[in-house]
């Protein structure tokens, strides 16, 4: 399992403080469960917060994440039914509504800000700004360092995907 993506991590920390929906449901139709998908490298992450229970899963595809989340929700339903001795507490089937977390897009684009570039290049923001506006000119070593950073960001952009 890889590094947990930012959007999922933020949701985990926010979850205890967000309002919970009522546990009542309309038994004439299946409940719609919102699944937030996020991609980190080649790994998909999915999360859902349903009836006060947050489920998180990762896998190589959105399909594998869905299967894992479905299994977790079914475990929750089985436990709840046994605990309350009531078969009608929650349904055993769900309709998933997929939505996508774009936190990684924001993080990637922020890397192109002067402050971030200066940090990554280990030079002052003021100096890098002066280079960018031709008020000063970088040395050969500084130019190579900036070029290397731009190439690294370019590779990251080429490898970036949401789906």
Domain boundary among 103, 125, 145: 103
Sign of CA dihedral 2, 73, 99, 95: positive
Q: Structural domain tally of the chain?
A: 2
Answer yes or no: do 69 and 18 share one domain.
yes
DSSP 140-157: HHHHHHHHHHHHHHHHHH
CA 55 from centre of chain: 14
Answer yes or no: do 126 and 148 share one domain: yes
Angle (nearest 5°) at CA 79 between 73 and 80: 90
Q: Residue 22 has what pLDDT?
A: 43
Residues 123 and 154 in one domain: yes
Kindly state whether residues 117 and 99 are assigned to the same domain. no
Q: What is the pLDDT of residue 2?
A: 64
- Domain check: are 140 and 90 in the same one? no
pTM value > 0.85: no
- Both 64 and 117 in one domain: the answer is no
Residue 1 domain-assigned (yes or no) = no
pLDDT for the residue 29: 77
pLDDT of residue 68: 95
Say whether both 31 and 92 belong to one domain. Answer: yes
Instruction: Indicate whether 60 belongs to any domain.
Output: yes
What separation in angstroms does the CA of 115 have from each of 8, 40, 99, 136?
Answer: 25, 24, 31, 17
Supply the range of the domain harboring residue 36.
6-103
Coil, helix or strand for 160? coil
Across the chain, which has 163 residues, the per-10-residue mean pLDDT values are 74 66 55 89 87 89 92 87 72 85 84 89 93 93 93 86 73
């Amino acid at each position: 399992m890889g590094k947990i993506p930012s959007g999922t991590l933020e949701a985990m920390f926010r979850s205890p403080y967000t309002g919970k929906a009522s546990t009542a449901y309309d038994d004439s139709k299946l409940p719609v469960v919102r699944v937030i998908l996020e991609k980190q490298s080649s790994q998909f992450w999915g999360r859902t917060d349903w009836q006060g229970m947050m489920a998180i899963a990762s896998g190589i595809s959105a399909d594998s994440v869905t299967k894992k989340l479905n299994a977790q929700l079914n475990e929750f339903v089985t436990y709840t039914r046994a605990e309350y001795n009531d078969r009608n507490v929650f349904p055993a089937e769900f309709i998933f509504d997929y939505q996508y977390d774009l936190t990684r897009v924001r993080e990637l684009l922020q890397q192109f800000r002067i402050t971030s570039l200066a940090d990554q290049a280990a030079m002052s923001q003021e100096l890098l700004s002066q280079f960018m506006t031709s008020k000063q000119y970088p040395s050969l070593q500084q130019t190579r360092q900036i070029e290397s950073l731009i190439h690294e960001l370019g590779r990251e952009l080429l490898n970036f995907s949401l789906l």
